[in-house]
Amino acid sequence: MRVYNFSAGPAVLPEEVLKEAAEEMLDYKGTGMSVMEMSHRSKAFDGIIKEAEKDLRELMNIPDNYKVLFLQGGCSLQFAAIPMNLMKNKKAAYIVTGQWAKKAYQEAQLYGEAVAVASSADKTFSYIPDCSDLDIPEDADYVYICENNTIYGTKFWELPNTKGKTLVSDVSSCFLSEPVDVTKYGVIYGGVQKNVGPAGVVIVIVREDLITDDVLPGTPTMMKWKTQADNDSLYNTPPCYGIYICGKVFKWIKNMGGLEAMKVHNEKKAKILYDFLDQSKLFKGTVEKKDRSIMNVPFVTGSDELDAKFIKEATAAGFVNLKGHRTVGGMRASIYNAMPIEGVEKLVEFMKKFEAENA
C-alpha cells in the first residue's frame, strides 16, 4: 500500500512515472537492458537526455541563449560552483532567508566577499524581507536568493530588485511548480529530489554569457560550467538513471497541462491546507501570510507534546514524513506537484479529527 508522503525531499513522485519505470526496468524499449545498465554514450541514452532537455525547455520556455546542465553534487556543490564561475570581482550579494541561503552565503565566503544585503534571521526566517531597494554593492557580480525556503515555508512572490545585477536563484523546492520567466535570471538551478526526480541530479540553467573560461583560479574542471556546457553534460558519466526519471516527470507535467496547470493544482492544494490552518483552534501556520510557500507548509500546535502525538497518529494513519525540520520542530507538510489533491483533503480531515479529540 502506498502512503501519503509529505517528505520535503527526497519526495513523492508521480505514481504513473514509477509504474512506467518499473515496466521498463528490465528492458528499456527493446534494448534488452535497463537504463541503469547502458552506456551514457549509447544511442538510447543520447535519446533520453536530449528528449529530457527538449521537454524541460518547452515546459519552462527556456530561451536559446540559456544552457541546461544536468549535474551531480546537488545544490550544495553549486554553492561553491556559483562563486567559482561568477565572481569576477570577488564580490556578491546574498539574501539570507533560511538555512539553504545561509549555507550558500557561507560557502561563497570561501571564495570572495559575500555580503548579506538582507536577512530574515531576526524572526526565524518566517518572512521574506523587503527587497525592493537593497544596498547592493556597485561591484557585486551577482545577487543570490533561495526562492522557496523548504525548511521555513516561505517563498519570494516577487523577485528582488537586483539593480541590474545578475540574479542567481536556488529553486529546488519550487522547480516546475508554476510558470517562470527564465529571462529574469542569470542562473536558475535546483536539486531535483524535491519536485522533479530522484536524488542525484541538480539542474543548472545558465545564461550563455555567464559561461566562460574566466573562472576563479583552482576551479576544478568538473565544476566549471563551461566544461559541462561544451560537453552537453556528458563530460564524464552523468547520473543517467536520475536524468531518465526526470525526463519522465517532464512528460508527466506536459500531460497534466504544463506549468500553468501545475500552478492551479498546487494553489488549490495549498489553499485547502492554509484555509484549515487559518480557522483551526489547535493548529497554526508559522509564517507571514503574504510570504507563504505553496510547496512547504509548516505548522504547530504550540505544544511539543501534542506535536509529537499528532505526528505519531498521522504516521499510523498513513500520512508520513510530517515532522518539521530538525532545526525548527513542529510539523511540515510538503505538497509538491506529485501530491494528489485527495492527499491534502484527507490530511485536513485527519487534522480536524485530531483537533476534535484533543480540544
Q: Rounded to the nearest 10 degrees, how much is the dihedral formed by the CA atoms of 204, 207, 211, 217?
A: -70
Q: Which cell is 20 given?
A: 512506467
Which residues in 128-162 are b (16+ Cβ under 10 Å) and which e? bbebeebebbeebbbbbbbbbbbbbbbbbeeebeb
Are 321 and 4 within 8 A, CB to CB? Answer: no
Are 323 and 315 within 8 A, CB to CB? Answer: no
Residue 197 CB, nearest approach to ligand PLP (Å): 12
Binding of residue 170 to ligand PLP (CB under 6 A): yes
User: Is 100 labeled as catalytic in the residue annotation?
Assistant: yes
Binding of residue 74 to ligand PLP (CB under 6 A): yes
Binding of residue 100 to ligand PLP (CB under 6 A): yes
Residue 5 CB, nearest approach to ligand PLP (Å): 16
> Which entry of 55, 170, 291, 307 is annotated as an active-site residue?
170
Q: How far apart are CA 174 and CA 266, in angstroms?
A: 10
Binding of residue 154 to ligand PLP (CB under 6 A): no
User: Is 165 labeled as catalytic in the residue annotation?
Assistant: no
Binding of residue 195 to ligand PLP (CB under 6 A): no
Q: How many positions of this chain bind ligand PLP (CB under 6 A)?
A: 13
Q: Lay out the site mask for ligand PLP across 171-190 (x = CB under 6 A, - = otherwise).
A: -xx-----------------
User: Is 290 labeled as catalytic in the residue annotation?
Assistant: no
> Which entry of 194, 226, 251, 269 is annotated as an active-site residue?
194
CA distances to 20, 60, 68 from 205, rounded to whole Å, are: 27, 11, 5
Q: Which stretch, 70-78, 265-273, 308-316, 322-330, contacts ligand PLP (CB under 6 A)?
A: 70-78
Residue 297 CB, nearest approach to ligand PLP (Å): 14
Binding of residue 75 to ligand PLP (CB under 6 A): yes
Nearer Cβ to ligand PLP (101/131): 101
Reference 165, options 189, 181, 190, 186; nearest CA is 186
Burial class (CB in 10 A: 0-12, 13-18, 19+), 164: exposed
Residues that bind ligand PLP (CB under 6 A): 9, 74-76, 100, 146, 150, 170, 172-173, 191, 194, 202
Catalytic residues: 100, 170, 194
